[in-house]
Each structure stands twice: as C-alpha cells, then as structure tokens.
Copies of this chain bind each other. A is one copy, B any other.
Amino acid sequence: MSVPLPSNRPAVDAPPIALDAMGGDHAPEEIVSGALLAVREHGLRPVLVGRRPEITTLLTEQGGAGEVPVVHAEETLAMHEGALASWRRPRSSVAVACKLIRRGDASALVSAGSTGGVVATSTVRLRTQAGVMRPALAVTLPTQPRPTVLVDAGANADVKPEMLVQFAHMGAAYAHVAHGVAEPRVGMLTIGSEPGKGNKLTRKATELIAGTPAGPPKLDFQGNIEGHDLLTGAVDVVVTDGFTGNVALKTVEGTARFVFDAVRDSLTSSTLAKAGAVLQRKPLRELRSRFDSESYGGGVLLGLNGGVVTAHGSTHAAGIARACALAHELAGGRITEHIRRRINASNRAPGWRPRRSHQEEQRSAPVGEE
C-alpha cells in the first residue's frame, strides 16, 4: 500500500477522529455534545460526519458554532440494519467516515450506531489488514487494577481455529497499546482449566498457539481459563469466538445488573437496613457506575486498515468523548502496526494453514460505490 496508514503517524500529527453524528439512541444531539466535550476536555480534533444542516444547527444551539468541522453524509444506518446495510448505503455517515480514513483525512472512526452495521460497513470499506482473516471486536471488562480485554465479543459468530490464534495476537496488541501491558498474558476461554479440555475449536486453536514461535513479539499464552475467571484479572486478554464472547459479555452485564438490583432491594427490605442504606448510597452508586457500559467505553474493532471504536447505542456525550479519546490513543499508539507485526509472526508458525481472508471470500459480492 503506497499511502502510509494514518494510524501509524505520531499522535501529535495524526488526522482527526471521524465521529459518526447519526448513530446511536441519542443521535445527533448527544454526539454533537460529545464532539464539543472531546475538543474542550480532551483536547482532540474530531470531525462530525452526518447531515450537515442538522449538525450545524445543533453546534450553534450548543454554543459551539465552527468549533468542530462537519463532513456531509446524506444517509444513516438504522439501528436494526445489519451486514447488508453496508452495501445498500454507500452514502451513510459510517461509509463516508471510512472514506475519510482511506484517504488519510481521518485516523479512526467512532460510532454509537448498530454494532452489526458498523462492523459490516467498516469491514467492507476499510478492509482487513494484510494477513488478517477477520476483524474482531475487543471490549474491556472492569477488572482491577487494570481492565481485561475480551476478544472476540461478537463480530464473528462462526470461526476457525486459526482465527482464534489471530484474535489472541490482536488482543495482545490492544492490551499493549491501550493498557500499557508490555507482555500481555493471554487465556483461552473454554470449559475446564486443564489442558485438553474444551471443544474442538478451542483445542485446535490451543495447539496452534503452542506451535507459534517464541517471538518477538512474544505471546504469553496461559492456557485455558473459565467463565468465573473473566473478572478475576487472571489474564490480560481473554480469547474466544464471537458467539461465546458475546454471550459471556452480556451475561456479565445481566448478572451485575441482577445482583445490584437484588442488593438494593435487600438493603431496603427492613427499617433497620433502610437506615443503613441511606449511609451507603454514594459508594454503591460509584460502584455501579464502574459497571455502566458508558464508563468503560465501547468495543474496538481490531484488524482493519484504521481504528474503529463502537460505543453503546445508549451512550451520552461524556461516553462519546471518551470513545474519541480511545480512538485517538489507538491511532497514536500505532495499533495497526502492532497488529501487523504480530500477525506476520504468527502466520509463519509451523502447521499454520492459510485461510481465505474476508476480502477473498467477498470478492465476488457487490461492494457498492467506492
């Protein structure tokens, strides 16, 4: 590729973040507010992509006229639109944002739109990095003292063992760049902690990882981990297929919500307990916010030619600004470069069977306007 990737430039010179103004439950109002917060509180330079008249009016209303550049995009991906939307709407705000990245006019994309639509659109329009079979969605779990990366959290429902190996390397690159972990410990999410336990997919992937050369860059593979280890910080990166990962992620969210509600009910179940609860509103509220999806940002799509951060649909301005900061950090930390080096090393492993990349499989499919 002749044009250097934007995300490989130093952070200070990096092109702006392309922020999808039209995606999310509270778009475009909260996205515009988030863009202004990103400028004012994080010192970033986002570009809003979407319907210019609406965005300009909102910027003026919010006292930020001219503070954030706007790139016009006629169409919007609806929240229920999935993979096919990417071909159907070449002028959607997400598609236009991807075009900015390909031209070098933006360093990364942030969107609170439908994850399915954003993943499909950006995969087709940014394309996977050389040697990467599938992009994978990484999310961070709120472990202490540092977060745990779960990858893939839902981009790929059906995968091959080789893809899990790549997810391990991409997750390690992410933990390195986003969380500053020099040699991330990587675990395979499966059933049973002993070697040889699991299903066919995880057993084969584990075998392939064991056959990977020692590095550099090194993959510190810790073997199997189980569901109850997700929040213990036992590893820095949890590798899994997108089906299991998405079920696990939503199970964490649902269980946390269930326990918080049960604690609240039980703390107000008697007069005595109620008296105690008054004294504890603040710490409990702070704790709950740690589990709030907005606090720990959205997902990051790894393995494309450009950073893609997907925020939850319900995200408000503060979460959008944080997502922009994360996208900026990934681009400045040259995440694509880190992934390229790791994937190159792992693809040279003995016993590695090359599989067709997403592009090769989709080559005959309609890709829409470029």
Q: Of residues A240, A251, A256, which shows the largest number of chain B Cβ atoms within 10 Å of its Cβ?
A: A251
Asked, given contacts A191-B246, A242-B191, A256-B255, whether A275 binds B266 with beta carbons under 8 Å apart, the answer is no
Contact B247 A191 (CB under 8 A): yes
Minimum distance in angstroms from A354 CB to a CB of chain B: 22
Closest to A255 in B: B255
A260 touches B259 (CB 8 A): yes
Residues in chain B near residue A226, CB distance under 8 A: 246-247, 250
Closest to A275 in B: B279
A230 to B259, CA, bound (A): 13
A1 contacts the other chain (Cβ, under 8 Å)? Answer: no
Instruction: Give every chain B residue within 8 A of A200 (Cβ-Cβ).
Output: 157-158
Query: Contacts A230-B255, A257-B228 hold; do A279 and B283 have CB atoms under 8 A apart?
Result: no
> Which B residues lie within 8 Å of A157 (CB)?
191, 198-200
A243 touches B198 (CB 8 A): yes
Closest beta carbon of chain B to A250's beta carbon, Å: 3
Shortest beta-carbon distance, A148 to chain B, in Å?
11
Across the interface, A263 reaches (CB within 8 A) one of B192, B231, B270, B284, namely: B284
Decide if A231 touches B243 in the complex (CB within 8 Å): no
| Complex alpha-carbon distance, A275 and B278, angstroms | 11
In the docked arrangement, what's the CA distance between A116 and B194, Å? Answer: 12
Inter-subunit contact B266/A273 (CB<8 Å): no
Shortest CB distance A135–B (Å): 16
CA distance A291 to B242 in the complex (A): 28
Q: Does A58 contact B (CB under 8 A)?
A: no
Seed contacts A154-B191, A266-B286; 15 additional CB < 8 Å A-B pairs: A157-B198, A190-B243, A191-B242, A227-B248, A229-B254, A247-B247, A251-B252, A255-B259, A256-B259, A266-B284, A269-B283, A273-B279, A275-B279, A276-B278, A276-B279
Spell out A's residues near B (CB within 8 Å).
80, 116, 154, 157-158, 189-192, 194, 198-200, 226-232, 240, 242-244, 246-260, 262-263, 266-267, 269-270, 272-273, 275-280, 282-284, 286-287, 290-291
**26 A-B residue pairings within 8 Å (CB atoms):** A158-B200, A226-B247, A226-B250, A227-B251, A228-B254, A231-B254, A232-B254, A243-B244, A244-B247, A248-B248, A251-B255, A255-B255, A255-B256, A259-B263, A263-B284, A266-B283, A266-B286, A267-B280, A267-B284, A270-B283, A272-B279, A273-B279, A273-B283, A275-B276, A276-B277, A276-B278
